[in-house]
Amino acid sequence: MTNKVVVLGSLNVDMTLHITQMPKPGETIPAISKTNSAGGKGANQAVAAARSHAQTSFIGQVGNDNAGKFMVNALKADQIDTDHISVDEQEGTGSAVILLDEAGQNSIMVYGGANQSMRPAIISDSEALIAGADILISQFETPQGVTYEAFKVAKAHGVTTILNPAPATQIMDDLLEVTDLIVPNETESATLTGIEVTDLVSMNQNADKFTALGIENLIITVGDRGAYFHTPAQSGFVPAFKVKAKDTTAAGDTFIGAFSAQIKKDFSNIEAALTYAQQASSITVQRLGALPSIPTTEEIQARYNK
């Protein structure tokens, strides 16, 4: 069965500056090269879901500019429904500048633009789309108030909600109440719970804190180590696949999008879905760029199901 996935999120044009090492404060360094590609956490997650054969739709906003047209066309190229992407006449399309060093590590600066000018009322036009979905995903590169309105609609129609709290910031209490699964990385989880993620004991403590906040289903991604998961039925750790990273941009987004295409609504196959998501992100980090680096199901199966 193919999941119907709706992504509410950001659309950014990424400019990546390739450098030997990160600059120190006040230091000027040369860039080896520059590349531009489609990105944004929302777009990355949607493309990852679509390339893993989920029937994918997008809710978002761009500016009335060439960058906006570029982003919409990038999603259409992966057969993603873009009918619910609106145009802001005042704000420009979101963008990001990525510093990428030779070790594959990155630092990212994001201009929200039209992503941040979205208003909760926009969700009223997408109620039927959300109601017909299996999974609704959102992140924090668009306003939390918009996500809350969308998640309320989702819960009214029995749709599973997945929240990726990135970039890390405090979460509206109301939003927690309508979130089925939260997927932070270790830094974001510590920001939200106040408990540093260092080992399995601290991961379990994070899970207990999220349960107290009303979210019983948790995944904490911990980079090249793997991913911790906790549901009322089970918990555990799925190790990452060891590869040499060229660019970690979009690795976490690939993970979430690929996972959303595989997961059952009752989370009963969470370990298998996480393994698949790890396989997908392990391929992403071996390539440059955001959208261009995200693999298809066929690529994942060819690499890991020999």
How is 214-274 classified by DSSP, letter by letter?
A: T--EEEEE-GGGEEEEE-SS-EEEEEPPP---S--TTHHHHHHHHHHHH--TT-TTHHHHH
Question: Each residue of 19-28: pLDDT tens digit?
Answer: 999 999 999 9
In a domain, 136, yes or no: yes
Return the CATH number at 249. Answer: 3.40.1190.20
The candidate with the shortest Cα–Cα distance to 94, out of 124, 121, 60, is 60
In a domain, 183, yes or no: yes
In a domain, 34, yes or no: no
**In the predicted structure, residue 252 carries a pLDDT above the cut 80:** yes
Structural domains of the chain, count = 1
What does DSSP say about strands 55-63 and 81-88: parallel, antiparallel, or unpaired?
A: parallel
Residue 102: partners with Cβ closer than 8 Å, 6 or more residues away: 19, 20, 21
Judge whether 214 is annotated as a binding position: no
How far does the chain reach from its first CA to its final CA, in angstroms? 23
Give the pLDDT band (50/70/90) at residue 103.
Answer: confident
Measured CA to CA, the distance from residue 87 to residue 290 in angstroms comes to: 23
Can 253 be counted among the known catalytic residues?
yes
**Rounded alpha-carbon distances, angstroms, from residue 284 to 72, 196, 213:** 22, 27, 33
Judge whether 287 is annotated as a binding position: yes
Higher pLDDT, 131 or 169: 131
Residue found by looking up tokens 């941009």 in the block = 249
Residue 1: partners with Cβ closer than 8 Å, 6 or more residues away: none
278-298 mean pLDDT: 91
Count of positions (residues) in the chain: 306
Structural domain including 262 reads 4-9+39-89+119-304
pLDDT value of residue 169: 87
At 22, which amino acid appears?
Answer: M
Judge whether 40 is annotated as a binding position: yes
Give the pLDDT band (50/70/90) at residue 1.
Answer: low
In a domain, 97, yes or no: no
Higher pLDDT, 269 or 108: 269
Judge whether 14 is annotated as a binding position: yes
Residue 266: partners with Cβ closer than 8 Å, 6 or more residues away: none
What does DSSP say about strands 12-18 and 94-100: parallel, antiparallel, or unpaired?
A: parallel
Asked whether 42 and 10 are in contact (CB, 8 A), the reply is yes
What does DSSP say about strands 55-63 and 4-8: parallel, antiparallel, or unpaired?
A: parallel
pTM as predicted: 0.93
In a domain, 108, yes or no: no
Judge whether 221 is annotated as a binding position: yes
Judge whether 238 is annotated as a binding position: no
Measured CA to CA, the distance from residue 219 to residue 185 in angstroms comes to: 8
Q: How buried is 254 (Cβ within 10 angstroms: 0-12 exposed, 13-18 middle, 19+ buried)? A: buried
Mean pLDDT of the chain: 94
In a domain, 26, yes or no: no
Higher pLDDT, 245 or 272: 272
% pLDDT > 90, the chain: 83
In a domain, 29, yes or no: no
Residue found by looking up tokens 């969470």 in the block = 270
**Candidate list 81, 174, 253, 266, residue with the active-site label:** 253
**Rounded alpha-carbon distances, angstroms, from residue 232 to 18, 71, 178:** 44, 39, 17
In a domain, 242, yes or no: yes
